[in-house]
Amino acid sequence: MTTSQRVKARTFRALHEGPGAFVIPNPWDAGSARLLASLGFSALATTSAGVAFTLGRPDAHAAITRDDVLANARAIVEATDLPIAADLEAGFGDTPDEVARTIRLAAEAGLVGGSVEDATYDPDRPIRELSQAVERLAAAVEAARALPFPFVLTARAENFLFGRHDLDDTIRRLQAFEAAGADVLYAPGLPTLDSIRAVCASVSKPVNVLIGPTGQACSVDELAAAGVRRISLGSSLCRAALGAMLRAAREIKDSGTFTFTSDAIPFAELNAFMASKTAI
């Protein structure tokens, strides 16, 4: 651990203390991280789906490994001077000890935060029993607290991403994760602003909300008024970039034209972004 990592960790934790909400966008590689840092964002987080897509793989169980995620994280850490957190999926291990090891390896990669979810990826039992999920999270908390800097640990309740639209159970899980020592609470896929408001009112730790089918209709100010402290984008930016590329490629293939080039970022501007680790 370096002095720089300690400073980044303190900065990252302070962002969660408010006031209001902050956006933590999700780059998928070093170049996209440097571009976001150059725009003046305060912190960044990795995206497991973005890692998979970058490697030419689907976002599916076991499509990427812990080594894949940490290699991507290291590249992003080295590309910017910002605090970086990581999507650590379900901790990359069946046992609490393996989850704890993932946290220690994340810290060694230069990260100052990370998330652990309660999904199993077993289609017959997609969400872990609460007691098991809490045991795994407690191991992650213990590993994080043993680090020489304040690693921000986010606990994710995955119900809504796996078709379990049970807000009461989701809140119970988040409350249990809070009691186990999580620093940030996160239930991706909440369907309405009212459900987001209910989650925020039910816990005392900072809540992260994923911009998706519901959140994309809300502004930062509206989400902050609902009690949200942190707003992430998941794979949205990666998909937006790949979507633009797909539309351009289809134009070339189907029409034989190149009008898409008028929307491309000028070479000199992009080059300037890549030359700087900080806002320009």
- Given a cut of 80, whether residue 76 has pLDDT beyond it is yes
CA atoms of 48 and 86, how far apart (whole Å): 8
- Given a cut of 70, whether residue 214 has pLDDT beyond it is no
- Rounded to whole angstroms, the maximal C-alpha distance in the chain is 59
CA atoms of 57 and 141, how far apart (whole Å): 31
Bridge-partner residues for 208, per DSSP?
186, 230
CATH fold label, 3-238: TIM Barrel (3.20.20)
Joined tokens for residue 12: 């990252």
- Given a cut of 70, whether residue 215 has pLDDT beyond it is no
Q: Which residue, among 128, 136, 134, 204, has the nearest Cα to 159 in the 3D structure? A: 128
Task: Give the percent of the chain with pLDDT over 90.
Answer: 91
Instruction: Delimit the domains of the chain by residue range.
Output: 3-238
Coil, strand or helix at 231: strand
pLDDT, tens only, 20-74: 999 999 999 999 999 999 999 999 999 999 999 999 999 988 899 999 999 999 9
pTM, entire model: 0.95
Question: How sure is the predictor about 212, in pLDDT bands with cuts at 50, 70 and 90?
Answer: confident
Mean of pLDDT values over 268-279: 89
CA atoms of 67 and 47, how far apart (whole Å): 14
Are 5 and 149 contacting, i.e. CB atoms less than 8 angstroms apart?
yes
AA letter at 126: P
Question: How sure is the predictor about 96, in pLDDT bands with cuts at 50, 70 and 90?
Answer: very high
Q: Which residue, among 192, 216, 198, 199, has the nearest Cα to 155 in the 3D structure? A: 199
AA letter at 208: N
